[in-house]
Amino acid sequence: MKIFIYLLVLFFALITIHTFGQTTLKGKVLDEKGKGLSGANVSLNGSYDGATADVNGNFQFKTSEKNVQVISVTFVGYEAYNQKVILNSQVLEVNIKMRETSNQLNTVTVTAGTFEASDEKKTTLIKPLDIVLSAGGGYDVTQTMILLIPGSQRNGESTGLFVRGGSAQESKILIDGLTIQNAFNTPSPDVASRSRFSPFQFKGFAFATGGYSAQYGQALSAVLAMNTTDLASESGYVVNFNLVQASVGYTQLTDNQSINGTIAYNNLTPLFAVYPQNVDWIKIPEQLNISTSYRLKPSAGESFKADIIYGKSASAMMFNNQDANNKSTEYGIKNDNLLITSTYQKVLDKEALWLLKSGMSYSYNQDDLKNGLIGLSKTEQRSQARATITRSFEGSNNLLFGTEGHYAQYDLMIDKTKTQEGSKYNYSLNDNYVSLFSESEFYITRKLAGRVGVRGEYSSLASSFNFAPRFSLAYKTGQYSQVSMAGGKFYQTPDYQYYYQNKTLQFENSTHAVLNYQIIKNKRTFRVEGYYKNYDNLVRENPPISGYFDANPQRFPSGKTSNSGYGFAKGIDVFFRDAKTIKNGDLWVNYSYCNSKRLFGNYLVEAQPTFVSNHNLNVVYKHFIAKPMMTVSATYSYTSGRPYYNPNNPNFLSERTPDVHNVSFGANYLTNIKGNFMVIYLSVDNVLGTERIYNYRYSDDGKIRTAITPAANRMIMIGTYITISKKKVLPEDMRKN
């Protein structure tokens, strides 16, 4: 706790208050009828200076900016307004009249199963800066999504997205529509790893927790679609350093193209020195990341993007090995990961009725693992191509056709030559996957809209075809509220490791039904959604010894397998956001209830899976302070106990871990160095030092029980982010938020 207090003092000591000759900007934001627009956002482009219009549309704020600037005004359902102004340290009055956009507040939109957030949507719920400013998210896209969006949960010892009773393998992450095969860093035993991406790589997110679009497949539960940023707006450097990472990036912008390069070095030694670890690290995690991106915009209706990300990491630790009667065993990781993506988009006609979107990617992941005397080498490669063409019609109706193809290769080597067994095993698999899909969005009336689609898939690994219909309907019940429903069939090729032993396994599948009510009014959002999900054809293992259950998460599947598994998940998700009640405050609350059982994998009977908790609650509050210019945030998270296996209890998975409570704190201070923007940030996870037990592991004889806890009781991060630019403006992604 002393270290926490010391870092708080250090953080605020870094804040120096600067005084400038300031201009006062004031005025009124009106609609076309002359009525004040309460809640309109008024700001200066390239700065954090701004205000929110009051109940009568009046606004006022001070700025230290000088000379010619651009004032920007936005309001949900209205066209963005921009006007040049001259700032000269005097009082400047500006009255603004905004024009309502069509098909926004008065038109229904399909929302069942999906939280969408992008710069192109007026009803944006989540932006990249929301991820950065949310305490407890660790500046990580997936971790923060779990805090902000209902339906998903955080399992502290496991890596991945766990959504509505689904396993991590059932949720897919996409970048610009392209599947990311290894979205997370390779995890150590019982230590969850982060995703490989920065939130500022993206301009928007769409998290479909059920009933998702026919454009996507190979996910029984959920899809997180992330869209990369467009052409950069200025040249300049970005420098970031904290207790974990030091990085530098440079962007060069010309008239219609930009190129960026970033290099980052991660080493957790300084972080571990600040706070003691519960893990015995032999080699402290170390990582090198190199990335580059290229953007080309030849014309208003045409764009090309290319991104290359390479990462190399290594770590080693001692862990309690269930296969060695819970004896301490060395586990080492060496990882190489490469991801190359490119997309091309073009409007095909002068009327902009036809739109082509295409993309290609290649990913490579090499893991060299050491588990005691056993060595494992895993290589995964995936090449894919994707294209869609959309025809727009009058009244926001459209029809989309698309196709995608993948070639995946999996290689595994298990080296037991140093053990008594003295053997080495090699496995190899290839999968050719092809899909065709079509989808249409249509408006029957301004209050009734729908989306219907169909998807067909073939996998050479599963040696079969599937046909998956999807639908969504939405009806507007009032000016600000609507109800939506969605459903459909979803297929997924089983975990490829099962195919090493059995090449006859078929597609697993699930059926979704979702019902949703949503109201968005006066900077407040309330949403409640009920769902039911039925699983069929899940892979089931027959244990080599009757009644034997291997709870080791690092185990390699053994025994006979079949598609005889099944299960269900049902529940309700509640979401509330209030950016109105407390001035300069933003409150997010989400609660999820999930009831799920399944018979799959090596489960002995139908039971609630070990990765499912019945109750999850997250309360996130963010507050913006004008002087000094900073944000503070706090998060409370609650997760009810999950099932764990006790070999001494004849009732399979009947015991529960303790409930998990967590309080996090974050602060960000914005200042400048010779006109270049600088952000100083501080975050603390588990401020109260609450004991958190994620699971229990038992020795083979059942006599020794080990609690699985976080790598550290409390996690602290402090660092700074600096942009160096000739234009002396914020990066585009921060400016938009």
CA dist., res. 455 & res. 438, Å (int): 7
Confidence band (pLDDT; 50, 70, 90) for 722? confident
How far is C-alpha 338 from the chain's CA centre?
20
For residue 409, the model assigns a pLDDT of 96
CA dist., res. 156 & res. 442, Å (int): 42
For residue 232, the model assigns a pLDDT of 86
Query: Do residues 554 and 189 lie in contact, with contact meaning Cβ atoms separated by under 8 Å?
Result: yes
Write the Ramachandran bin of 728: left for phi over 0, alpha for psi from -120 to 50, otherwise beta: left
- Scan for tokens 């429903």, then name that residue: 485
For residue 507, the model assigns a pLDDT of 96
Confidence band (pLDDT; 50, 70, 90) for 198? confident
Confidence band (pLDDT; 50, 70, 90) for 105? very low
Range scoring the smallest mean pLDDT among 61-75, 305-319, 384-398: 61-75
pLDDT, mean of residues 512-529: 91
| CA proximity to 238, closest of 720, 630, 735, 736 | 720
Give the three-class secondary structure for 31: coil
For residue 122, the model assigns a pLDDT of 32
pLDDT tens per residue, range 313-340: 999 998 877 666 667 889 999 999 999 9
Length of the chain: 737
Q: Is 0.85 surpassed by the pTM of this model?
A: no
pLDDT, mean of residues 661-676: 86
- Scan for tokens 């963010």, then name that residue: 622
The helix or strand, by DSSP H or E, that contains position 374, with its residue range, turns out to be: strand 374-393
Residue 3, pLDDT > 60, answer no
pLDDT, mean of residues 392-397: 82
Give the three-class secondary structure for 199: helix
Confidence band (pLDDT; 50, 70, 90) for 638? very high
Mean per-residue pLDDT over the chain, rounded: 86
Residue 492, pLDDT > 80, answer yes
Domains of the chain: 2-97 (2.60.40.10), 114-246+383-397+432-736 (2.40.170)
Residue 299: how many other CB atoms lie within 10 Å = 9
CA dist., res. 279 & res. 188, Å (int): 11
The more confidently predicted of residues 439 and 54 is 439
| CA proximity to 513, closest of 485, 473, 483, 491 | 485
How far is C-alpha 572 from the chain's CA centre?
21
693 contacts: CB under 8 Å, gap ≥ 6: 657, 658, 660, 707, 708, 709
Identify any residues that bridge with 617 across adjacent strands, giving them in sequence order: 591, 638
Confidence band (pLDDT; 50, 70, 90) for 14? very low
Residue 111, pLDDT > 70, answer no
Confidence band (pLDDT; 50, 70, 90) for 733? very low
SS3 letters across 422-444: CCEEEEEEEEEEEEEEEEEEEEC
For residue 289, the model assigns a pLDDT of 95
For residue 704, the model assigns a pLDDT of 85
The pLDDT > 70 percentage for the chain reads 90
CA dist., res. 127 & res. 110, Å (int): 20
Q: Quick one: CA torsion of 723, 726, 732, 735, rounded to 10 degrees?
A: 80
Compute and round to an integer the Cα radius of gyration of the chain: 26
Residue 444, pLDDT > 80, answer yes
Query: Do residues 184 and 193 lie in contact, with contact meaning Cβ atoms separated by under 8 Å?
Result: yes
CA dist., res. 217 & res. 453, Å (int): 12
Six token digits for residue 465: 């075809």
Query: Do residues 267 and 284 lie in contact, with contact meaning Cβ atoms separated by under 8 Å?
Result: yes
358 contacts: CB under 8 Å, gap ≥ 6: 343, 344, 345, 385, 386, 387, 388
CA dist., res. 337 & res. 390, Å (int): 34
For residue 556, the model assigns a pLDDT of 81
CA dist., res. 440 & res. 471, Å (int): 10
For residue 607, the model assigns a pLDDT of 96
pLDDT, mean of residues 252-268: 92
Confidence band (pLDDT; 50, 70, 90) for 18? very low
For residue 323, the model assigns a pLDDT of 66
